[in-house]
Chain A
């Protein structure tokens, strides 16, 4: 049985994020090939896509407003230096993150699925009358159709 920890240190936090992302990747059916989560041409990247993804999440989770501030903190932090020995320059890291945008989208939805949030309780069981076709039938006219067209300037 797991117990509630009072504090979480940075190393534990990074490992927890990394393993949660791995769970989400498995849920989304994404596999890593030569360090690439999105198939693309080119040599094997020096830094794995999962590391880029983990750092992108860490930046937002810790509330850094700019990439620059985050990268300064990242490069000066001894714990992160140990956990991420290979690192990209800041512009290259931002470019790799931009490359992974479709994956970020897919993983966000994978977390919804992991937490059982795919089907809202009101999606199919509740009949929504305003969505039935008869409310937008041909008998109802748009009020703006009765307005004179004089406001349009002649060309």
Chain B
């Protein structure tokens, strides 16, 4: 039996309430910002918060804005551009939460490794993981369970 390993860099877009709004995969050897540029080829639009790796170059920033996607990314101290106090507060408020939700998704849905036969099956499984994530949060809200827990679903099996 032959086995291959493909490195993939996955970009997750979370809503403030912790649902996954969009997922985008790029090859593992691409820079983070390529995930943002990849959104240009999708139907996704909205306002994104990210770390400084997601700072788009001017031409792409305009293209994204024309499509309805805007970005607030962290800046470095040696950059010429800096965020306003309002933007810094926004990033401080949300960045930690996003990192935590990425960690939870990874842990609860085995997002680090996906066993599959082909790219078609890979994409299907990744979206099935996303759907399960959103559905679990939806059910937890309806069943009045802890918002981000999946343990009670696993106990049922």
Nearest to A12 among chain B residues (CB) is B156
Nearest to B42 among chain A residues (CB) is A105
Chain B nearest CB from A84 CB (Å) reads 14
Question: What is the 8 Å Cβ interface bit string for chain B, positions 89-120, against chain A (1 contact, 0 not)?
Answer: 01000000000000000001110010111001
Interface membership of A7, Cβ < 8 A: yes
Contact between chains at A120 and B117 (CB < 8 Å)? no
Task: Give the residues in chain B near A133, CB-CB below 8 Å.
Answer: 62, 65
Contact between chains at B110 and A65 (CB < 8 Å)? yes
Interface band, chain A: 35 or more
Interface membership of B47, Cβ < 8 A: yes
Interface size on B, residues (CB 8 A): 62
Contact between chains at A8 and B121 (CB < 8 Å)? no
Contact between chains at A60 and B132 (CB < 8 Å)? yes
Nearest to A61 among chain B residues (CB) is B132
Q: Among the listed B49, B70, B142, B143, which residue makes an inter-chain contact with A131, where contact means beta carbons less than 8 Å apart?
A: B70
Q: Among the listed A24, A65, A66, A98, which residue makes an inter-chain contact with B124, where contact means beta carbons less than 8 Å apart?
A: A98
If over half of A's interface residues share one DSSP class (helix, strand or loop), that class is named, otherwise mixed; here it is helix
Cα–Cα distance between A12 and B139 once the two chains are bound (Å)? 12
Task: Give the residues in chain A near B7, CB-CB below 8 Å.
Answer: none
Task: Give the residues in chain B near A61, CB-CB below 8 Å.
Answer: 132, 135-136, 150, 153-154
Contact between chains at A108 and B130 (CB < 8 Å)? yes
Nearest to B132 among chain A residues (CB) is A60
Chain B residues with a Cβ under 8 A of chain A: 15-17, 19-22, 46-47, 49, 58-59, 61-62, 65, 70-73, 80-81, 83-84, 86-87, 90, 108-110, 113, 115-117, 120-121, 123-125, 127-132, 134-139, 141-145, 150, 152-157
Chain A residues with a Cβ under 8 A of chain B: 2, 4-5, 7-10, 12-13, 16-17, 20-21, 24, 56-57, 59-63, 65-67, 73, 94, 97-98, 100-101, 104-105, 107-109, 111-112, 114-117, 120-124, 126, 128-131, 133, 135-136, 140
